[in-house]
Structure 1
Amino acid sequence: MKTVQLKREVNSGFKFITEKQTLKSPLVLVFGSRYLLEDESVYQEIKNYFPDGHIVFGSTSGNITSESVDDESIVVTAIEFENSSFIIKTTNVLNDNQESLNSTEVGKELIKQLPAQNLKHVFIISDGSFINGSQLAIGMNSASDQKLIVTGALCGDAARFEKTLSSYNEAPKEGEIIAIGLYGDTLEISFATHGGWTPFGPERLVTKSDANILYEIDGQPALNLYKKYLGEKSKELPGAALLYPLNVKSKDDDKSIVRTILNINEEDNSMILAGDILEGSQVQLMMTNVDSIVNAAEIGAERALSERKKAPELALLVSCIGRKLVLDQRVEEEVEEVMEVIGNKTLVSGFYSYGEIAPFEDETNCQLHNQTMAITLISE
């Protein structure tokens, strides 16, 4: 595997942050600020660097490299696979009327586009505005009978939640979902997720919900109850909700999952979550601190590395925007902890997202996570 990485900041051109070298038909991952990706010249500029490259764009809530975490930048990571291969397929969750299509069917049909023979892993870069991430994951699992490992992320837009952009071999646009299928027996790919958030307060019952909209908890309007717990911080909603997600445990599953509250509806006292929440689920508020988040990143890296035969050459890190808001000025510490574990010879690329896609430990079916650090380690 050969890799090259470039970075462009506001009012500057692209600069190599690794040694410059020529790559043959590379996979080119472009993660960047939505505002910078809206520049119509960006696609052609990157195409000039990699004329035969397969260029995948994704807007972010912050870019991750081994050097730094940047808000207003574009990071380009180009990968030449020497002994393996990749195939890229796309779909769009928006139809011509700009209305969202069924996210489950979108996920199922996207994975079915990828040839199944020798398919080792799929990495997803998804729209983060219109897609229902939970249903996307269900659809992708159903396409492979839950036997295919899928990791990836929903794109971000800082903490604005206005729109996200993504694309393959064209200028970034809304609604696009990209599946990168990785093929070959020489590939070694491992993954892990870990959060570091702690539930507090009583467990309560979800008594009314619809997909990712939470209407009632214990028979009471969900937003009213949430505001009661937040106290003075409720004046800072919906932004404050990123700091107090929900721990959700379904009656049909023995594992809990974290759900971020993306927005609120004062008219019907409901909350819009980043993923589905089923009626009958048990929910608790969650909280964390900087040290817990940083320690969780270290634990995740150790899990991802634990059973590998070869040192990773590439680390794709996806962390949640909510973690970034908690970490604030210490945001680079969680990346530093991962690098301490995996070693400084591994090229690091990634971003802060609106949702992380990965299976639970010891499982194969992927899930939509919030408030986690999802780590994918790749080598040939």
Structure 2
Amino acid sequence: MKIIQAYKDANKEWQYFQEKATLKNPLVLVFGNRYLLENPEIIKDIRTEFPYEDIVFGSTAGEIISCNVNDKSVSVTAIEFEKSSFVVERENILDYGKNAKDLGEKLYTKMPKENLKHLFVLSEGSFVNGSSLINGLENNIDSKISITGGMCGDDARFEKTLASYKEDPKEGEVILIGFYGDSLDISYSSFGGWIPFGPERVITKAEGNILYEIDGQPALDLYKKYLGEKSNELPQASLLYPLNVTPDGKKEPVVRTILNINNDDQSMILAGDAPVNSRVQLMMASVDGIAQGAQTAAKIAMATRSSKPELALLVSCIGRKLVMNQRVEEEVEQVREVIGERVPMAGFYSYGEIAPFNGSTSCELHNQTMTITLISE
């Protein structure tokens, strides 16, 4: 595996982490600030600097490259596989009436199945229901195939996200990358570091990812009572106080970020499903707790490997970034300490992370986690 990484701030020159070289048919991952990905001159510059066919674009709430966390930049990771291969497919949620389950089913059917080892998803992040997307992808999947990835971001604006394959970045795109070959060693993990607090309550009315009532009370009204004065800062303040949701009949909880609020009907729009009868609790975090969570994620991802990783794809949540603020690079440094100094790292801050629960291949949409995918040939 050969990897070339570079990044560029607006109106500045490209900065490379390895010696610039020409690669053979690489997979090129471009993570960048949404405003920059809307700029035709920036896109032209990327295509000139990396004149390859298989380019995947995704907007972010921050770019991870090496041990750096950048804002208002574009980061590029070009990967040449020497023993294995990849296939990229795309669909647009706007062609499916925003039905993410149908889109997921269609995307998976387009993927060749022979020697398929792993799927990486890069999805529109502002209105795709990530839980439904995963349900569609997994509907007919072989249980041996794992899925990781994330929902694109738009800093803390939540206006719109962009993604694309080959084409210029646009709204509504969901990209699926399949990795193929017996030589591939792929491991993954997802861990948070957030702490539940307050009483555990029950969701009594919800529809998909819209939460209406908790314990028979309007969800938003109850949430505001917990936040106190911080409720004046909604919906941004909700990124610091997500929900810990344990669906009825399941042992493992998932964290749900609140993407938006509706004062008219007192509902909250979440980044994924929160089914009726789920147990729910508020969560909070410290900088140290989040950094420790990233280290734990890295240890879990390394525990099942038979070879050293050659590439680490990191998808972390915007909520973690907002809590850590100026110390945000600490969680990336914690990952580096565990996986090794020389392993190239690439990724982004997201509106949702996609990964199985640790020790499983059954996938979930997570929020507020550090999700790691380690790849080697």
TM-score by length of 2: 0.98
Match of 2:364 in 1: 367
Match of 2:80 in 1: 80
Q: CA deviation at 1:51?
A: 2.7
CA contact (8 A) 1:93 1:130 kept: no
Give CA-to-partner distance per residue, 1:49-107, whole Å, 9 cap, x none. 33334100000000011241111100000000001000000000013xxx843111111
After TM superposition, list the pairs within 5 Å mapping 1:169-318 onto structure 2: 169-318=166-315
**Cα distance in structure 2, aligned partners of 1:212 and 1:67:** 34
**Cα distance in structure 1, aligned partners of 2:4 and 2:289:** 33
Match of 2:56 in 1: 56
Segment of structure 1 superposing worse, 158-167 or 359-368: 359-368
Q: Please state whether the residue corresponding to 1:364 is helix, strand or coil.
A: coil
**Cα distance in structure 1, aligned partners of 2:364 and 2:107:** 16
Match of 2:136 in 1: 139
CA contact (8 A) 2:67 2:336 kept: no
Q: CA deviation at 1:17?
A: 2.4
Match of 2:70 in 1: 70
Letter in 2 for 1:85: S
**Cα distance in structure 2, aligned partners of 1:275 and 1:254:** 18
Q: Please state whether the residue corresponding to 2:94 is helix, strand or coil.
A: coil
Give CA-to-partner distance per residue, 1:344-377, whole Å, 9 cap, x none. 1100101000000000011112110000000000
Give CA-to-partner distance per residue, 1:100-124, whole Å, 9 cap, x none. 4311111111011100110000111
**Cα distance in structure 2, aligned partners of 1:66 and 1:52:** 22
CA contact (8 A) 1:59 1:166 kept: yes
Give CA-to-partner distance per residue, 1:3-29, whole Å, 9 cap, x none. 001111022132322211110000000
Letter in 1 for 2:201: R
Instruction: Select which of 317, 341, 352 maps to 1:320.
Output: 317
Segment of structure 1 superposing worse, 144-153 or 70-79: 144-153
CA contact (8 A) 2:185 2:376 kept: yes
**Cα distance in structure 2, aligned partners of 1:209 and 1:171:** 36
Segment of structure 1 superposing worse, 106-115 or 153-162: 106-115
Residue ranges of structure 2 left out of the alignment (5+ in a row): none
After TM superposition, list the pairs within 5 Å mapping 1:22-171 onto structure 2: 22-95=22-95, 100-171=97-168
Q: State the Cα RMSD in Å.
A: 1.1
Q: CA deviation at 1:43?
A: 3.1
Letter in 1 for 2:271: A
Q: Please state whether the residue corresponding to 1:248 is helix, strand or coil.
A: strand
**Cα distance in structure 1, aligned partners of 2:260 and 2:217:** 18
TM-score by length of 1: 0.97
**Cα distance in structure 2, aligned partners of 1:242 and 1:51:** 38
* Aligned pairs, number: 377
Residue ranges of structure 1 left out of the alignment (5+ in a row): none
CA contact (8 A) 1:100 1:131 kept: no
Give CA-to-partner distance per residue, 1:190-209, whole Å, 9 cap, x none. 00010001111111111111
**Cα distance in structure 2, aligned partners of 1:213 and 1:224:** 14
Letter in 2 for 1:144: I
CA contact (8 A) 2:118 2:147 kept: yes
Q: CA deviation at 1:145?
A: 4.8
**Cα distance in structure 2, aligned partners of 1:156 and 1:127:** 8
**Cα distance in structure 2, aligned partners of 1:66 and 1:81:** 19
Residues 242 and 100 of structure 1, relative CA distance in 2, 3 Å threshold: farther
**Cα distance in structure 1, aligned partners of 2:58 and 2:87:** 17
Instruction: Select which of 352, 357, 363 maps to 1:355.
Output: 352
**Cα distance in structure 1, aligned partners of 2:328 and 2:161:** 22
